[in-house]
A = this chain, B = another copy of it.
Amino acid sequence: MEDREREVLERIERRRRRPPRLRDELVTLAHGAGGKASRALVESVFLEALRNPLLAPLGDAAVLDAPAGSRLAMTTDTFVVTPRAFPGGDIGALAVSGTVNDLAMAGGRPLALSASFVIEEGVAVAELAAIARSMAAAAAEAEVPVAAGDTKVVERGGADGVYVTTAGVGAVPAGVDLDPGRIRAGDRVLLSGTLADHGMAIMLARGDLDIEADIRSDAQPLYDLVAALIAAVPAGAVRALRDPTRGGLAAVANEFALAAGVGIVLEEAALPVRPDVAGACELLGIDPLHVANEGKLLAVVAPGAADEALAALRAHPRGADAALVGEVRSEPPGMVVLDTAFGGARVVDLLVGNPLPRIC
């Protein structure tokens, strides 16, 4: 039985070695079938980049400590952006930042993320590895582990390359209650930086436009900025936070106005927009208010706390361009109005139709 024993020991040794050899350059359906190829892909691409004690066992679920005295925030988002890599980021960094930010807007410190991939047969393994590394870098920046994951491979034509779905769990400290229903007339509206960078970076990266401009996505995780903001003002002074992603600032302001039954008046002249972004928007006939951002937040704060809140945002590297952009009024309830630079006013509504596909 010596041969048999040696064979067994060699087999164990081969299987315990990490990472297993993944020789394929392109993803095939076998990588999604749950067998040896799946294991090789997961271990040598995803676990390799994202390794942490929660993810490493590759069990059905990760188990983590729950923070005492906190409530839990939970969120999810799917990312189907085209192109998958663009100036300032890629789909992996975007997925991590987007989910961290959704937790942060509820006041949640990110505890753990999950990441699930739909991969089209034929995608390069090297591209997946680059996406996984971007996710790892963004997760490290946000100080959150990617604790659980899944991969599915679909036939050629069954997905447009790679779709990434992230979910997140966060801890909301006692006393933090960010609910748009708490917004009151007189509150001030702050924006943490320039508008429309992400959406315009994607539009230009698609190459459909003949514009040369150095516009980069603003994708970044915002929990530390949120924590700094909340710490800088009295308890309860931050009424609500939202990151203006798909649908842009217009969608978020409308959501707030409707939730609280208040009017929100934005000052066009106060809205920070980079000149090259403004120029690209104008060429395309797109209002920056409707363009997605991935590293900005809209904060509604009590009137007495507005100065401290603005100072706290500006003092943070992720909020250096923060501005007071508007205020809350009792009229017109449920509506957003833009005071234009020309002294007029117009209603800012939700967008109809689909001018900006596949930006997140």
Contacts and interface: CB of A to CB of B under 8 A. Distances in A.
Interface stretch (A105-113, A183-191, A272-280, A306-314): A105-113
Interface residues of A, number: 98
A65 B170 CA distance: 12
A37 interface: yes
Interface string A62-90: 11111110111111111110000000000
Interface stretch (A26-34, A131-139, A204-212): A26-34
Interface of A: 8, 11-12, 15-16, 28-30, 32-39, 57, 59-68, 70-80, 101-103, 105-106, 108, 111-112, 114-118, 147-152, 154-155, 157-160, 163, 165, 167-172, 179-180, 242-243, 245-248, 251, 258-259, 261, 292, 331-335, 350-358
Contacts of A15: 258, 334
A39 B358 contact: no
Contacts of A167: 74, 76, 114, 116, 148, 165, 167
A15 B352 CA distance: 14
B351 A243 contact: no
A11 B352 contact: no
Contacts of A160: 154-155, 157-159
Given A74-B148, A116-B78, A66 B66 contact: yes
A155 B163 CA distance: 13
Nearest to A112: B74
Copies in the complex: 2
Contact of A108 (B63, B106, B111): B63
A19 to B, nearest CB: 15
